[in-house]
A and B are shown apart, each in its own frame.
Chain A
C-alpha cells in the first residue's frame, strides 16, 4: 500500500525527511512565536478573538475577527467593547461596558507594597451585549461586578468573516487536517512571510479542537491565567520587568526550539 511512498522516501534520503519534519516543526514554532509576541505587545493573553455568539449583532456576527489590546495603565470606559472570561465559564464573552466604578480601594495599607497609580486602581465594571435587552449580571455566575482580572482585552480592530474558518474547523474536523497539511507544504515550498503569518493563526487554532479564543492553548498549557502583572494585583502594582509577565516556560521553549530548528536546518542544507 505504501510501497511507492517508501520507495520515494528511500530515494530522497534521510536528510530530506528530516528537513520536512523540521520545516513542519518550524511552522508550529514560528506560529507560537508570532502569537506570543503579539500577546506581549498588546498585553493580553489572547490578542485575536473570534466572535461566537450573536449578542453583539449587528456590530459583530459569528465568525468575525476582533483584535484586542489591554493597556495596563488605562482604565476602561463606558462604551468600550471588552472580552471577558468569568472563572468557571469556558467561553469568553464579547460585550460592551455599561457601567464603570473606579477607585474602590480598601483602607488597609501594607508597607511592603507600593500604592498603585490612580489609573490602575480597582475598577468595577458592568457589561451588556448590544443585542441583549438586559445587562450581563446573570452571566457573571454569582459575581456582582466584573473586575479587571476577568477582562482579556478591549476590542480595537475588526475584520469580518475571517474567523469563520475556525468555527468551520470545529464543525468539520477533517478540514483542519487538510489545512494543516496544506500549510506545511506551502511553507516548505514558498517562504512567503506574509502568507505564513496569516496561516499561522489558523494553524494555531487547529491544535486545540475546542478552542474558543483562537489559540487559547498557550494559556491552558502553560497553566497561567493572566499574563499581565496588573491583573494579578489589582490594588497594588507589582513592579516587575515586562518580560517577566509573559515569559512562561512555553514561550522560552518555543524560542529555544525555533533557534535550534533554524540552526539545524542551515546545517542540513
Chain B
C-alpha cells in the first residue's frame, strides 16, 4: 500500500527519536526507575498506607509473643524466649509476603483510574510500569523490615541462640527475605491486573496468603501435622524462606526433615524466588499489554 511507504518516510524525519521498539535493557531500567520514583513520591503523600504496613507486623509480633509465647513448645522447650526466637523468622517472612497485597491494590487502582491507559499509550519499555511498582514496594518492604527488626530486638529477639552465626549470615538472611518479598510482589502484580477493582485486589491479594503462611513451619512445627499436610508445609516455598532464616540466624525450631527444601533451605529459597519472578513477571507483562478495565 503506497500510503504506508510514502507516509512512513515522511513521518520519520526529525519527529521520532531513534529509540528501539520499547526494548533494550537500558531503556527498561531507566523507565522502571522513573515509575518507581513516582510510586515512592505517592507513598510520601499517603503516609498512612506505609504506617499501617508498619503497624501490622509489629502487632503480630507482640500478640504472638505474649498470647502464644507461654503455651507453645519449640523443640521440647516451653520457654517464652525460645518461642520468640523461633517466631521471628516466620513473622519476617510473613511481613515481606504481605507486600503482595500492596502491589496488587496499587496496580488495580492505576487500571481503574485510567493511568495504565496513559502509560500504555506512551513509548516506554513494556514491563516498566510493573517493574517500577515492584521496586517501590521493595523499598517499602525494606523499611518495614528495619522497623520490625528494631521492635523484635527490643522484645528480646536475638540471633545465634541455637548455634553459631555471623554478620554475613545474618545479612544473607535479610537479603533472602528481600528477594522472596520481591518475588511475591509479582504475584500481586498479576492479581492487580486481573481483578476489576482496587478493593478486590486488596482482598484477593491477602486471602490466599493465609493458608500459604499458616500451612508452613512459620508458627508451629510441621512434624505434628497430618502427613499430607506436612508434605505441603515442607515443600511450601514460604517454609523454605522461614527455614533459611532460622538456619542463617541460628534460631531455634529448625525443621528436621528429609524434604529437599528443608535440607537445603537457602538454595530452595533462591530457586523458588527466581522461579516465581520469571513466571509471574512473564504472565504479568503479557497481561499488562492487553489490559483493559
| Chain B binds chain A | no
Which residues does B use to contact A, with CB under 8 Å?
A: none
